[in-house]
Amino acid sequence: MQRHLISAADLTRDDAVLILDTAEEMARVADRPIKKLPTLRGRTVVNLFFEDSTRTRISFEAAEKRLSADVINFTAKGSSVSKGESLKDTAQTLEAMGVDAVVIRHSASGAPYRLATSGWIDAAVVNAGDGTHQHPTQALLDAFTMRRRLVGRDAGLGKDLDGRRITLVGDILHSRVARSNVDLLHTLGAEVTLVAPPTLLPVGVETWPCEVSYDLDSTLPKSDAVMLLRVQRERMNAAFFPTEREYSRRYGLDGDRMAKMPDHAIVMHPGPMVRGMEITAEVADSDRCTVVEQVTNGVSIRMAVLYLLLGGNEPAVSHARPTEEK
């Protein structure tokens, strides 16, 4: 593994499988009365959030605390792309405090990459979402969720997603989740199809390692998992599509559409869901929908990532197992 986790594209197949396997180990911690490992005792992790995301921050924080790290939350609300609150200044302050890892969320694409490569700071950098670029731990938790559901919890250990067919639906253009998922799922051997109106697909998407379709109905019968992406309200006025109703009719997932999916197929969503438009309540509340599991799995994945970045390259099992048996 590299020293930082900036992009899902940086992960090899073996890196990714190692993270998923390690996350399974970490998941067992969550099943115990005391959900804590001493692994990162004495290490300091900063959650540096230049953009609001309570969900992601809490997930990382839970992961850090379960690994016994000292946690500092730094929120620089509203200062994302304005001069004055410079990323560099903040980085140098954190460097002076001697932090071991920085989990960064930023509205500017590339900010975590700059942080990791500009020599401003020496800590390990974990990208918790940057602009419309990448959100690698989200892709990892999605892959983890798919592997558990489609391959099996224990049967999945050591395995990738070879041959599974995954469909991503919605605002691909503005989605760091979509970019990260396409990279990672391809690395793990899955066949990915993106479905969206042409206005919400990026120029150059034809060079991505995936299929592209404008037609949801024809892709559903051959999907093992369908992941719906959030369409942000502000896109509505920017002429990306005519009306919410038309979007919903063509790209929303309702019960009738879900019935076209194979029986074993799952429905995913990175949350928060806009019920009604992209997903109906019927689908969201069905047991095929993995939204709640995705949240739970997020903590395990983030524990695994922090453990592997800070605790060494060897599998977590060598450390985690003895602790577990105490």
Partner 1 sequence: MSKTLIRGAKVLGGEPQDVLIDGGVVEAVGRDLSAEGAEVVEADGKVLLPGLVDLHTHLREPGREDSETVLTGTRAAASGGYTNVFAMANTFPVADTAGVVEQVWRLGQESGYCDVQPIGAVTVGLEGAKLAELGAMHESAAGVTVFSDDGKCVHDAVIMRRALEYVKAFNGVVAQHAQEPRLTEGAQMNEGVVSAELGLGGWPAVAEESVIARDVLLAEHVGSRVHICHLSTAGSVEIVRWAKSRGIDVTAEVTPHHLLLTDELVRSYNPVYKVNPPLRTERDVMALREALADGTIDIVATDHAPHPHEDKDCEWAAAAMGMVGLETALSVVQETMVDTGLLDWAGVADRMSFKPAKIGQATGHGRPVSAGEPANLTLVDAAYRGQVDPAGFASRSRNTPYEGRELPGRVTHTWLRGKATLVDGKLT
Q: Is 111 in the site for partner 1 (CB under 8 A)?
A: yes
Question: Annotation-wise, does 138 bind a ligand?
Answer: yes
- Tokens standing for residue 113: 């990459």
Question: Annotation-wise, does 55 bind a ligand?
Answer: yes
Q: Is the dihedral of CA 298, 299, 303, 306 positive or negative?
A: positive
Q: Is 108 in the site for partner 1 (CB under 8 A)?
A: yes
**Cβ at position 106, least distance to partner 1 in Å:** 7
**Cβ at position 236, least distance to partner 1 in Å:** 16
Q: Is 109 in the site for partner 1 (CB under 8 A)?
A: yes
- Tokens standing for residue 72: 């500092």
Which of 118/218 has CB closer to partner 1? 118
Task: Indicate the helix (H) or strand (E) that contains 144.
Answer: helix 136-146
- Tokens standing for residue 133: 């670029």
| Binder of partner 1 out of 114, 148, 165, 302 (CB under 8 A) | 114
Which residue shows structure tokens 């991505």? 208
Stretch that binds partner 1, among 40-48, 102-110, 220-228, 318-326 (CB under 8 A): 102-110
Which of 106/147 has CB closer to partner 1? 106
3-class secondary-structure state, position 87: helix
> DSSP per residue over 233-299, as a string?
GGGGGGTSSS-HHHHHHHH-B-HHHHTTS-TT-EEE--S---BTTTB-HHHHTSTTB-HHHHHHHHH
Residues 6+ apart with CB under 8 A from 204: none
Which residues inside 186-225 make contact with partner 1, applying CB under 8 A?
202-205, 207-208
Binding mask 123-152 for partner 1 (x = CB under 8 A): -------xxxxx------------------
Binding mask 56-95 for partner 1 (x = CB under 8 A): ------------------------xxxx--xxx-------
C-alpha angle 197/229/243, rounded to 5°?
A: 45
Which of 120/307 has CB closer to partner 1? 120
In angstroms, the CA 1 to CA 18 distance is 9
**Cβ at position 17, least distance to partner 1 in Å:** 24
Counting residues that bind partner 1 (by CB under 8 A) gives 31
In angstroms, the CA 281 to CA 183 distance is 30
Question: Annotation-wise, does 106 bind a ligand?
Answer: no
Q: Which of 323, 62, 271, 20 is nearest to 279 (CA)?
A: 271
| Binder of partner 1 out of 68, 73, 107, 296 (CB under 8 A) | 107
Q: Is 179 in the site for partner 1 (CB under 8 A)?
A: yes
In angstroms, the CA 195 to CA 214 distance is 5
**Cβ at position 203, least distance to partner 1 in Å:** 5
Annotated binding-site positions for L-aspartate: 83, 176, 230
Instruction: Return residues touching partner 1 (CB under 8 A).
Output: 80-83, 86-88, 106-111, 113-115, 117-118, 130-134, 176, 179, 202-205, 207-208
